[in-house]
Amino acid sequence: MSSDDKNRAIAAAILPLVGGAENISTVAHCMTRLRLGLRDRSLVQDEALKALPSVMGVVEDDTYQIVLGPGTVARVTPEIEALVAAAPQPTHSAEDLAAQGAALKAAQKAKNATPFKLFLRRIANIFVPLIPALIGCGIIAGLNGLLINLGWLPGVTPALAAIASGFMALIAVFVGYNTAKEFGGTAILGGAVAAIIVFPGVAKIDAFGQTLSPGQGGVLGALGAAVLAVYVEKWCRRWVPESLDVLVTPTLTVLISGLVTIFGLMFVAGEISQAIGDFANWLLANAGAGAGLLLGGLFLPLVMLGLHQALIPIHTTLIEQQGYTVLLPILAMAGAGQVGAAMAVYLKLPRNGSLRRTIRSALPAGFLGVGEPLIYGVSLPLGRPFVTACVGGAAGGAFIGLFSMLGTSVGSTAIGPSGWALFPLLNGNHDLGETIAIYAGGLLVGYLVGFVATYFWGFSQELLDEFNVETEVPEVAVTVGYGTPALAPTAPAPESESVKI
């Protein structure tokens, strides 16, 4: 079967299990998850969906999220969109569709729509679409640095530098565009206002007694400028006559927002950005081991809650300032702890063949930094192994943080990859070999501590009695690799049913 046929088959298998095309209102995806807006949540067949070989798990949030893994999700999403577009339109009236599942939707919103979570989700929605470009440019930057250090291809390295740096030089424009779109304004006006920040001509302008610098304020300034532009635009839409709207509204939006950006936001956002960079450097230089312990240990719960994407603006700010983010390699240790814990579970439950098959199929993704299959398919439903996996992540984070205290920073030139996939993106304040060695050492510490903590303290006797048994699982459930049915000797573990985000 060709790759296209395989992806089309995955989409065709998923669609009826989420209620069919008529039950889907929106289709989107992030790095690993297919995100579906559903009209009626009760039509979803959760267990059947988890039993599909291509599905690593499901997460319920403001959208229904199906974990397919990196690469696969980007190829399956267009197939889902095509099937939805080709399906006959439902004959229900607008009133019928609005009423359908209203009670369930209201209950879900009440649970998830806290102001803080909605704010973080919006921030993530702005930056997540930028990740592919950050990864591509980051890898090219790392390759270019290697060629320069080796003295190879001197005629090509300037071109590679331009390719790698072009996106980062204009990232503020893309942030402004996405921000305006996310907050309900005209996207291009948000991009136009944010473009002021990177325009070279701002170097001729004085604000607060200082001469501005192109790029001052960075992505935070762009975000603030675009949000302001949205509010100005909405105000204009309310008060400007329709006959003048097409001329007056965009003009006033760009003018007012632009002036505030130049004579206020650029300076303020620049100070905030500088403070973020200074604090991150100070923290790792003075309390690196402790900071790494906390960051590495708490990152898995953030992933479980889906809040880890809110860290993207901080990573991006650090990359703008220093060329790399020192936080990502520490946070990546959480995945190492997860891998170590999974290997311990594999050895502790020798009779549970279905769970061992699950772990074998999920480990390759875990080594590459995709932790969701192991989280939702193994450690979280079991309980204690999730905690001991966090212990492994904390140990790996402390290891890297310790070297930051000793003067050797380990950073990543882009965001998105983790685990072994982060090696091509590594950078720091010392030579590349030393940076790679420290990161590899952190991974080994995470694997080892996660394994030891899980093997000796990750199981109560009751848990062993429940799960270390021969399992009779239908072949379709066994081939899932990541679904909760593989965990249960007789029925799905009760804990797994309560995992909702």
The answer to whether the CB of 495 falls within 8 A of the CB of 472 is no
End-to-end CA gap in the chain: 35
Which residue in 30, 137, 236, 390 is the catalytic one?
30
Of 495, 469, 496, 472, whose CA–CA distance to 482 is shortest? Answer: 496
The answer to whether the CB of 257 falls within 8 A of the CB of 232 is yes
DSSP letter assigned to residue 201: G
Name the burial class of residue 1, with classes exposed (0-12), middle (13-18) and buried (19+) by CB atoms within 10 angstroms of its CB.
exposed
Phi first, then psi, for residue 38 (nearest 5°) are -110, 140
The answer to whether the CB of 338 falls within 8 A of the CB of 374 is yes
**Which ranges of 87-212 would DSSP assign to H, the alpha helix?**
94-99, 102-112, 115-127, 131-150, 157-169, 171-182, 187-198
Tokens 């708490």 sit on residue:
298
Contacting residues for 246 by C-beta, under 8 A, at least 6 apart: none
The answer to whether the CB of 431 falls within 8 A of the CB of 378 is no
Of 20, 38, 19, whose CA–CA distance to 28 is shortest? Answer: 38
The answer to whether the CB of 359 falls within 8 A of the CB of 422 is no
Name the burial class of residue 28, with classes exposed (0-12), middle (13-18) and buried (19+) by CB atoms within 10 angstroms of its CB.
middle
Catalytic site residue 137? no
Which long-range contacts does 438-441 make (Cβ < 8 Å, 24+ apart)?
Answer: 438/399, 438/400, 438/403, 438/408, 438/410, 439/329, 439/400, 439/410, 441/399
* CA atoms of 290 and 360, how far apart (whole Å): 33
| Three-state DSSP class for residue 98 | helix
| CA torsion through residues 212, 218, 220, 223, sign | positive
| Three-state DSSP class for residue 191 | helix
Q: What is the bridge-based pairing of β-strands 410-412 and 206-207?
A: unpaired
* CA atoms of 499 and 479, how far apart (whole Å): 22
* CA atoms of 38 and 21, how far apart (whole Å): 10
Residue 204 structure tokens:
């001729």
Residues belonging to the active site: 30
